[in-house]
Amino acid sequence: MTVVPVAADVLLSHKEEIIEAWIHEVRTSPATTIHKVLPDRKIKANLGFLLDVIAESLRRDGPAMEYRLDDGANREARHLAELREEQGFSISEVLEDYSVLRRQIMSLFQRDLKVSTPEAFEVDARVDVVLDRALKTTVETFHSIETGDLQELAATDALTSLYNHGYFWQRLDQELQRAKRYHHPLSMMMLDIDHFKTYNDAYGHLYGDLALKEIAIILRGDRRRSDVVARYGGEEFGLILPETRIESAHLVAEKIRQTIEAHPFKRRGGAQTSLTVSIGCAGFDEDQVTDAKQLVEKTDRALYTAKGRGRNQVCSYRIRPVQEAVAAS
């Protein structure tokens, strides 16, 4: 198979020219003007790497179809998808990115590359193989991001932007199975806003919704990346804490309780007021918990105990050696 290394030299010597022409064409496209503009340094690094890969393919022996992208090339193709998705581009606009790049490369070769017809066909084939395989990676990544965004949206509570009730149960079951399999600790907590109906009646549902959003922000701020925070329903929130023993979960819950108690909640006229919460905690015990429903029931019992004892406190579910279940703070 004929190899055309001179084409690689031409490509690399005009790399900056191709990138600048690509940026100009894409940015002046009517479709692109509605999106945020990519920083030059990001796109130059991205396209520059892909052009290097094309040059490498032009220098290699063997049939064009045998060429495979290495990890670096696939990484840059994925990165282009991430950049475009972040900008709000559609998949058709991503396809056009590659079409523009191919046009710029072929225009350069037609102008500066003097080769025979068979060699020209070989150059075209090698450029097409690299761009097609990079495009495949970009499109797959783009679709994966879009699918993930849709799944995230379906699992999110519209008011608080926390996970919703359904996702909470799904993740709790997953984390419970993992804790069983590897004999790792797992805890959860349920948090309920004290006298929230009275708060809504006094200040109105708009300020009630605002209070829910502010509590959601506090809960997100106090969590680790591995924790799951959800709006369980109404004024109740659920938290899943993997790799956490009940003693540590109790301390986390107490910190959350104190933070919410000290937080100034806004109400009509710019004034501020306060809210408190009751929190129940329970930990996974292999001898006493067989499924997610049982763990939630134990957490609920601890929460009811906290409310029964006067609210604004944390109670954790314990198991006595004689197997008698109690909720103890």
Q: Which residue has the tokens 């109105």?
A: 204
Given the residues 76, 85, 175, 235, the one annotated as active site: 235
First to last CA, the chain: 78
Look up residue 149 and give its two tokens.
Answer: 């965004």
Structure tokens at 45: 């690094």
Concerning whether 286 is annotated as a catalytic residue, the answer is no
d(CA 217, CA 239): 13
Pick from 24, 12, 246, 47: which is nearest to 134 by CA?
Answer: 47
DSSP 313: S
Q: Can you name the residues that pair with 22 across neighbouring β-strands?
A: none
At a CB cut-off of 8 Å and minimum separation 6, what does 50 contact?
73, 76, 77, 101, 130, 131, 134
- What is the β-pairing status of strands 277-283 and 265-266? unpaired
- Cα angle at 109 between 108 and 112, to 5 degrees? 80
Q: Are 44 and 85 in contact (CB under 8 A)?
A: no
Query: Where does residue 164 fall: left (phi above 0), alpha (psi -120 to 50 degrees), or beta otherwise?
Result: beta
Beta strand pairing call for 236-242 and 272-273: unpaired
User: How many C-beta atoms lie closer than 10 Å to residue 230's C-beta?
Assistant: 26
Measure the CA–CA gap between 26 and 30, rounded to whole angstroms: 9
Q: In this structure, which amino acid lies at residue 233? A: G
DSSP class of 39: P
Q: Give the integer Cα–Cα distance in Å for 101 and 108.
A: 11
| Residues labelled as active-site residues | 235
